[in-house]
Amino acid sequence: MVKSRKVSPTTFKHTRHDLASLIRGLYRRVARRLRVDPSYVSRIARGERHSDTIETELKREMDRIIEEFSRQRRAQPTKPEKTKKSKRFI
């Protein structure tokens, strides 16, 4: 029997800003590489159109974004945990 381990949800302190800045321009970057219109890339991403080439390039770009985001997270210095100070009454 295989024991399953409990997976805790991942939390990111600065996800909204960091991830948004990495994703911004995703369709434009893919469109520029493939010399197509960004709105066409957007339609493919939403499933309104189909293109194996553009889907592959979108996946590649998302992998690059995830890798960059992970690299930035690893590079952030960790803050030491605060210890509780006891209150002294004189």
The DSSP letter of residue 24 is: T
DSSP character for 68?
Answer: H
* Confidence (pLDDT) at 12: 53
When the pLDDT of each residue in the chain is averaged and rounded to a whole number, the result is 78
| pLDDT category of residue 66 using cuts at 50, 70 and 90 | confident
Using CA atoms, how far apart are residues 20 and 63, in angstroms rounded to an integer?
15
Work out the burial of residue 46: count CB atoms within 10 Å of its CB; fewer than 13 is exposed, 13-18 middle, 19 or more buried. Answer: exposed
Question: Is the whole model's pTM more than 0.85, yes or no?
Answer: no
Residue 44 — pLDDT band, cuts 50, 70, 90? Answer: very high
